[in-house]
Amino acid sequence: MSAETAPIYLDYAATTPLAPEVLEAMLPWMRHQVGFGNPSSSGHAYGREAAAAVEHARRQVAALIAADADGVVFTSGATEADNLAILGAVRFAMARGRGRHVVSSRTEHSAVLGACERLRREGAEITLLQPDRSGRIHVEQVGEALRDDTVLVSIMHANNETGVLQDVAALARLLRPHPAVLHVDAAQSAGRCPIRVRDWGIDLLSISAHKLYGPKGIGALWVRPRPRLRLEPLQYGGGQERGYRPGTLPVHQIVGLGEACRLALQDLTRESARLHTLRARLRGGLEALGSVRIHGDGDMAPHIVSASFPCVHGEALSLELGGLALSAGSACSSARPGPSHVLRAMGLPDSLASSTFRFSIGRWTSAEQVDEAVAAVANALERLQPLSPLAARWRDGEPLDALHEY
């Protein structure tokens, strides 16, 4: 793929390119002469230098989410962080007879839903809340679902398919008098939306480097250090990362995550405002095409627009949009084909879910690219809609909602 023929990248929610500054920060820690020491080798300078770099990165991660640095546990990404948080917290509580009930939602990432499903097979009871039509879970719903034996509530911050933001600060306030701990999957929001772990009172929070211009294969789980929150580890070994995640630390990856967090924090206000403006341009452009349904409203992450195109075949539209690198539904679950569980939970019929695309923008997206993308969609719809019997009925005055039984 050459730069001239490369499709316009509109899949930043799936992954982001590595920021050049991050690559530069990582390189010394991969070179032969310096930086290769094992951070656990405290007996010599090689190890001590590596350990200092890890601790520096730990502080950079903590700064992005306004949390204490000693709560940061490095993992391989948000999937592992979600699993460690959910399996770790619930197994720890169940083993001590403190309860076995978990509250989460139908629109969570499959890393959260998969961990909940695993716990169900281990004897936990899982309540998965139903979102409203815009994809939002209301704090009152969580309040009603809470029981005396609830040990964990896991609700994501920004949804990876729609960009809908949940009020996790309000959730934390709700849970303050309750012994259940709050886990938040912030893989999509970290670096794009302000997060204040300490002020809000979040107990566990997952992030991933490759969603914020860092390298793939590294992320973090923040685990409340005071009062100390205990988790059952997923693996056993040399006791690194307070025993929660043993194994020799990948220093270059950790340095990359730290630098990505530093950059994200430095640019947070400006970049988030720029993305909100671009997102409004994209949303407005698509809406102006008429036959489109945009998902999610109210408080939204700045980088995602999820749009359904009624009266066209999803696969045909996907072929027509070959010049755009987009996701049909969510790339994060593309290993499991079929209609998206998020859109289904929001009440979308499968026929409409299958012609839904996620446009996600980021650091290198320009206004011109957004306009080009809208024009490409307009052209594709112009070609495809005349072929659809539904479109004919729609032109004859039948409302879209009736056509798709929405």
- Nearer Cβ to ligand PLP, position 99 or 219? 219
Which listed residue (16, 105, 107, 160) binds ligand PLP by CB under 6 A? 160
Instruction: For residue 189, give both structure tokens.
Output: 């929001």
Which residue of the chain is nearest ligand PLP when measured via CB? 77
**Per-residue 3-state assignment (H helix, E strand, C coil) for 290-355:** CCCEEECCCCECCCEEEEECCCCCHHHHHHHCCCEECEECCHHHCCCCCCCHHHHHCCCCHHHHCC
* Owner of token pair 């566990």: 204
In Å, what is the CA distance from 205 to each residue of 62, 148, 154, 375? 11, 23, 10, 39
Contact present, 171 and 155 (Cβ < 8 Å): yes
User: Residue 37 or residue 250: which is nearer to ligand PLP going by CB?
Assistant: 250
Residue from the set 90, 93, 111, 220 that interacts with ligand PLP by CB under 6 A:
111
62 — alpha (psi -120 to 50), left (phi > 0) or beta?
A: alpha
User: Toward ligand PLP, which CB reaches closer, 105 or 355?
Assistant: 105
The whole-angstrom distance between residue 124's C-alpha and the CA centroid of its chain comes to 25
Between 111 and 384, whose beta carbon lies closer to ligand PLP?
111
Out of 332, 342, 343, 361, the residue judged to bind ligand PLP by CB under 6 A: 332
Q: Which member of 193, 261, 311, 332 is catalytic?
A: 332
Residue 187 touches ligand PLP, criterion: CB under 6 A: yes
CB of 302 closer than 8 Å to CB of 189:
no
Q: Which residue from 48, 64, 163, 151 is spatially nearest to 103, judged by alpha carbons?
A: 151
Choices 180-188, 233-241, 264-272, 353-361; region in contact with ligand PLP by CB under 6 A: 180-188
Using CB atoms within 10 Å of the CB of residue 270, give its burial: 0 to 12 exposed, 13 to 18 middle, 19+ buried.
exposed
Q: Between the CA atoms of 79, 82, 86 and 89, what dihedral angle is there, to the nearest 10 degrees?
A: 120
Stretch of 40-48, 72-80, 238-246, 354-362 lying at the interface with ligand PLP (CB under 6 A): 72-80
| DSSP labels, 365-377 | --HHHHHHHHHHH
Work out which of 8, 72, 78, 361 binds ligand PLP, going by CB under 6 A: 78
Minimum distance from residue 244 beta carbon to ligand PLP (Å) = 17
Contact indicator for 15, 332 with CB cutoff of 8 Å: no
311 is catalytic: no
- Comparing CB distances to ligand PLP, the nearer of 35 and 302 is 302
**Per-residue interface string for the shown chain with ligand PLP, residues 90-109, x marking contact by CB under 6 A:** -------------------x
* Binding mask of the shown chain, residues 228 to 267, with x at each position contacting ligand PLP by CB under 6 A: ----------------------------------------
Interface positions, 193-212, toward ligand PLP (CB under 6 A): 208
Footprint on this chain of ligand PLP (rule: CB under 6 A): 77-79, 82, 109, 111, 156, 160, 185, 187-188, 208, 219, 332
Catalytic residues: 332
